[in-house]
Structure 1
Amino acid sequence: MNQAVKDLQQQPPSHILRSGAARRWVLSAGLTTALVALPVFAVLYLALFPEDNIWPHLINTTLPLYLSNTFQLMLGVSLLTLVIGVSTAWVVTMCQFPGRRFFEWALLLPFAVPAYVIAYVYTDLLDYPGLVQSWMRDAFGWENASNYWFPNIRSLGGAVLMMGLVLYPYIYLLARAAFMEQSPSLFAVSRSLGRSALGTFFRVVLPIARPAIAVGLSLVLMETLNDFGTVDFFAVNTLTAGLFDTWMNLGNLGGAAQIATVMLAFVLILVTLERYSRRRQQQFAARDLREPLQRFRLSRGRQGLCLLVCALPLLLGFLVPALVLGYYATEYFAESWTDDFVENSLNSLTLSSLAAVSTLIIGLLLAYSRRLHDTPGMRLLMRLSSLGYAMPGAVLAVGVIVPLAAFDNWFDLRMQSWFDWNSGLLLSGTAFAIVFAYTVRFLAVSAGSLESALQKITPSMDMASRSLGMPAGRTLLRVHLPMLRGTLITAALVVFVDCMKELPATLILRPFNFETLATYVYQYASDEMLRQSGLPALVIVLAGIVPVILMSRSIGQSREFQ
């Protein structure tokens, strides 16, 4: 009898909902997914059937340079983030040293700093008229740059450094979680066989954590491919910069779509390589998370080395930018606090809030539809709905503008022929396009979180609700939503912060005379007024700190240590 009850509890709730209600949920999920995936198919269509095919011209002129710079940028950022992310994750997880508890969460703070913001800060510090070189000339009596050598921050190497300092938390976060989940018996067996702590790390720990690190690295590379503000400011011609140039300067949307297709190919290769790298890697090690991990006791010299390993990326990736921005915001507060700043802040808050709400609603629809009807087709819809997260913002902007502009043109022709009325741009020239792009790009964040949270709720809750006569919709509102409150808040915060920082899609899709904080900072930087951008840039950074702390706390509470 007990076994029968257990079997019944393990069944998915779809077995109690085979009526038209299930079909309505699945149909709604299908239509929503088609709408969300529309930008991807729009890019592919426009690339295959452009009005003016400049693909041969791109191949013979600028495309090789775009590809070469993009590959070098991704390679450099991947190496830098791997070194910083893995080393800091191992040190704070397995080594005992002063300040370890502080660095556990503080190492995630660079997550809150957009790459283009840190690029603007260090350019103002390290460029020829900046604080560092000005001090060097005064201190050593040098008259101009011909008297000394100083690395050029506005270069490919500078872009690698800027992105690496703010993107390593992707790898740190996942690597630390993977290290915390490993069984202490693995360390004990390795040490009993004569392996040192360092040998145990490279021969045992690192291979087991490789899948998690590979996922983090793929996210880093996607963000690198998405960046526009940094490469544009540093004059590094990557695929993203080439897309903007082809569209905005040459006025060729078809050529921009063709470059966007190349970027999608990069993303597809990244995802394929990540999955291929762990195709045969299956781990069934017994892991008892109740057994505490024992951290290594280190000598004073090694404790100092651990402090240096953790303090350097935190100092360069967050503390220096935050202090500089704070100084600029204070020094130029009267000039920065203007009606434009207030209006742009409200624009960012409004767009980010609308996108957070829309991603939660659509994500909840998709996740709950799969819970009610967990079939291969429904799982395919979930994957299609996540395509936007893998699309760089510039590519997504191309995919959004094409169908929305086509609808606006079609609707305008109908209104003129029927009522002799010019409707203008209803969708493509309004803030709706930005919210739609945000929703498509960050839907995977909310949908994935809600799907994972729903899987932890026992199906017996659904069956009990249905037995009391509640339909599926009311069950969701009365039973599941109260249990998902924490997940909903966390997902909304993460999406909100991502939208506050998003630059490429916003630059392309924003209406005339409409700015957000991100584009406001970009405009100041483009006009070489970096110090006046301190206040809006600081607001963007501060908005990202709360989700960072929440993520750190969720990981730190998952395992006990000695």
Structure 2
Amino acid sequence: MIALYNSRTWKLSSYIIALVLIVPVVVMLVGGVSASTQLFVHLWQTVLPSYLENTLLLAFWVVLLALVFGVFSAAIITQTNIVFKQQLRWLLLLPLAMPAYLVAYLYTDLFDYAGPVQRALRGWFDWQSPNDYWFFDIRTLPGAALMLALVLFPYIYMLTRGAFEQQDQNLIRASRLLGLTAKQSFFKVALPLARPAIAVSASLVLMETLADFATVQYFSVNTLTTAIYDTWLGYGDLGAANALASILMLLVLFVVLAEQRSRAGLRHQSARPNSKRELIQLSFSQQLIASIFCWALVILGFLLPITLLIIMAVQYSDFAQLSALLSTGINSLKVSVFAATIAVVIALSLGLYQRLHNDKYRQVPQLISGFGYAVPGTVLAMAMLSTLGPLDHWINDAAEFIGFGAPGLILSGSLFAIVFALVVRFSAIANGTITSGIKQIPRSLDYAPATLGVNLRGSLTKVHLPILTPAILVAWLLVFVEAMKELPAVLLLRPFNFETLSSQIYQLISDEVLEQGALGAILIVLFGLLPIVLLNKSKEKV
């Protein structure tokens, strides 16, 4: 590892930034551990066990369904000669742009008793009441699991597809020469080799599931995230909410550690793999089944929901909606631009510090700053309230003590709390993108400025930052889009009379009138498509 500079200011600021980003989580954990409120004891003795059971069951079914959808679709795209392969290759990524709560509402509206599907069935078969026929209830725990799996399986599909494409085909050919069939070779060689990618992607799906709030809330499936939200807003008990948030965060940490432990000791099969692939030739019936499977994922996960949103927008949009969309859109843009810009600046500072400084532990600040991505939005909101609330009271007391008027909740009651939470939550995304860009810079370019007598500022502004411009733009866009879509943290931390696109749409969904916010929902989806387009283009260039 190259280490060229010894700036004490840079070192001190890097550790301060890392500590500031981790302090809210530590404060929340301390508050949760020390909480001994009667409400928490009452919850533990009554409903909390069922909340934990629902959380674990939901996580199990979402991961299982996402694995089935993602692994088999990746295998079909990479291992077979399925028709429309190039189109399906990127179309299978599109469901990632759909927020799960939008899909949940749209399918509930479609399949509910008063929805068009059941109305049509009653008209065709002359059924008069629910007693005349059976129809599945989508607003259940399995229904919530299916909704989440439909929009989260692209995580598994994307990483597993990449793993299959990078495998050494000499190993596959060797297994065939030893007498294995194509099916046996896939399950005994290709699939085990892709295990690290599958484990990583499954852990991402699991963390997103544990962090989900709007979908389970709309489906009335009580989980730990809904318990945290209800305990704080319903009972006003921050201590009990902190304790619940601590339990949820410990579950997430267990997932992360278990995933890392499962991959410990695994080795890649070859440093110079043979990527020339022999595709499995599918028969007509196999082509039909494989095509139906892949196209069903694309249609159910993206094309049908976006079509329903467009129909709603065309039928119900008016000038008043456009005016409201403009106001909330500006709020979303403001918060997202601030969060993305700050996160990228921090990622640049910590990434270049790790690359160029001679501190023995220079990787520590970046590791600490990325911890927030493993923290669900609801938990992070509780951490911000636990940290900024007392700080606000201290500022007000200090202002009154020296003779000034109390300034009010300038931290916890303003945009500062939302932006701070989003920076903590998504710094890991910016870190990963910037670090990837830094690794592409030749080592010689680190030494060259120093040998020519160029100081640190000159090296950064004239060499490293210009080279990192593409990575900076990608990192900024990824954080911007994630901030636009974030809901739980915004719901808990937003000031009075302040709405973003995500919070406004959630309120409309709760009131069963998404039609009034269809344009805003489409806008969120369009923003969500931006990183998918970037990912697709970057893969095509490789």
In the TM superposition, what is the alpha-carbon distance from 1:555 to its structure 2 partner? 2.8
**Which of 406, 411, 414 does residue 395 from structure 2 map onto?**
411
Find the aligned partners of 2:11 and 2:48 in 1 and give their Cα distance: 43
Look up the match of 1:429: 413
**Which of 124, 130, 134 does residue 139 from structure 1 map onto?**
124
Cα deviation digits, residues 143-197 of structure 1 (max 9, x gap): 1212111111111011001000000011011101111110110111111112122
User: Partner amino acid for 2:374?
Assistant: A
In the TM superposition, what is the alpha-carbon distance from 1:453 to its structure 2 partner? 1.7
Distance 1:73 1:335, change over 3 A: farther
Cα deviation digits, residues 6-38 of structure 1 (max 9, x gap): xxxxxx331x323xx2x2222111000001111
Look up the match of 2:104: 119
Look up the match of 1:534: 518
Look up the match of 1:7: none
Look up the match of 1:313: 297
In the TM superposition, what is the alpha-carbon distance from 1:380 to its structure 2 partner? 2.5
Find the aligned partners of 1:86 and 1:37 in 2 and give their Cα distance: 35
Task: Map residues 175-194 of structure 1 onto 2, 5 A cutoff.
Answer: 175-194=160-179
Task: Map residues 465-484 of structure 1 onto 2, 5 A cutoff.
Answer: 465-484=449-468
In the TM superposition, what is the alpha-carbon distance from 1:266 to its structure 2 partner? 0.7
Cα deviation digits, residues 511-538 of structure 1 (max 9, x gap): 0000000011111111111322311111
Q: Single out whichever of 135-144 and 106-115 deviates more from structure 2.
A: 135-144
Find the aligned partners of 2:536 and 2:38 in 1 and give their Cα distance: 49
Find the aligned partners of 2:36 and 2:193 in 1 and give their Cα distance: 50
Cα deviation digits, residues 394-450 of structure 1 (max 9, x gap): 000011122211221111111111123121111110111111111000000011211
Cα deviation digits, residues 376-404 of structure 1 (max 9, x gap): 62222222111110000000001112221
Task: Map residues 247-262 of structure 1 onto 2, 5 A cutoff.
Answer: 247-262=232-247
In the TM superposition, what is the alpha-carbon distance from 1:115 to its structure 2 partner? 0.6
Gaps of 5+ in 1: 1-11
**Which of 2, 8, 31 does residue 13 from structure 1 map onto?**
2
Task: Map residues 148-547 of structure 1 onto 2, 5 A cutoff.
Answer: 148-288=133-273, 291-334=275-318, 337-373=321-357, 377-547=361-531
Is the 8 Å Cα contact of residues 111 and 169 (structure 1) preserved in structure 2? Answer: yes
In the TM superposition, what is the alpha-carbon distance from 1:295 to its structure 2 partner? 2.4
In the TM superposition, what is the alpha-carbon distance from 1:293 to its structure 2 partner? 2.5
Is the 8 Å Cα contact of residues 28 and 387 (structure 2) preserved in structure 1? Answer: no
User: Partner amino acid for 1:155?
Assistant: T
In the TM superposition, what is the alpha-carbon distance from 1:42 to its structure 2 partner? 1.4
Is the 8 Å Cα contact of residues 168 and 269 (structure 2) preserved in structure 1? Answer: no
Q: Normalising to structure 2: TM-score of the pair? A: 0.97
Task: Map residues 30-109 of structure 1 onto 2, 5 A cutoff.
Answer: 30-50=15-35, 52=37, 54-109=39-94
User: Partner amino acid for 1:331?
Assistant: Q
User: Partner amino acid for 2:30?
Assistant: Y
Is the 8 Å Cα contact of residues 106 and 314 (structure 1) preserved in structure 2? Answer: yes
Is the 8 Å Cα contact of residues 332 and 484 (structure 2) preserved in structure 1? Answer: yes
Is the 8 Å Cα contact of residues 218 and 510 (structure 2) preserved in structure 1? Answer: yes
In the TM superposition, what is the alpha-carbon distance from 1:286 to its structure 2 partner? 4.2
State the secondary structure of the residue aligned to 1:386.
Answer: helix
Find the aligned partners of 2:185 and 2:357 in 1 and give their Cα distance: 45
Distance 1:539 1:382, change over 3 A: same
In the TM superposition, what is the alpha-carbon distance from 1:50 to its structure 2 partner? 3.1
User: Partner amino acid for 1:341?
Assistant: L
Q: Which runs of 4+ in 1 moved over 4 A?
A: none
Give RMSD over aligned pairs.
1.5
User: Partner amino acid for 1:13?
Assistant: I
Distance 1:480 1:294, change over 3 A: farther
Percent identical residues: 42
Is the 8 Å Cα contact of residues 336 and 533 (structure 1) preserved in structure 2? Answer: no
Look up the match of 1:6: none
State the secondary structure of the residue aligned to 2:171.
Answer: helix
Cα deviation digits, residues 213-242 of structure 1 (max 9, x gap): 100000000000111110000000000000
In the TM superposition, what is the alpha-carbon distance from 1:336 to its structure 2 partner? 6.0
State the secondary structure of the residue aligned to 1:97.
Answer: coil
Is the 8 Å Cα contact of residues 110 and 318 (structure 1) preserved in structure 2? Answer: yes
Find the aligned partners of 1:462 and 1:546 in 2 and give their Cα distance: 32
Is the 8 Å Cα contact of residues 63 and 202 (structure 2) preserved in structure 1? Answer: yes
Find the aligned partners of 1:170 and 1:336 in 2 and give their Cα distance: 37
In the TM superposition, what is the alpha-carbon distance from 1:375 to its structure 2 partner? 5.2
In the TM superposition, what is the alpha-carbon distance from 1:53 to its structure 2 partner? 5.1
In the TM superposition, what is the alpha-carbon distance from 1:47 to its structure 2 partner? 0.7
Find the aligned partners of 1:42 and 1:454 in 2 and give their Cα distance: 33
Find the aligned partners of 1:432 and 1:202 in 2 and give their Cα distance: 51
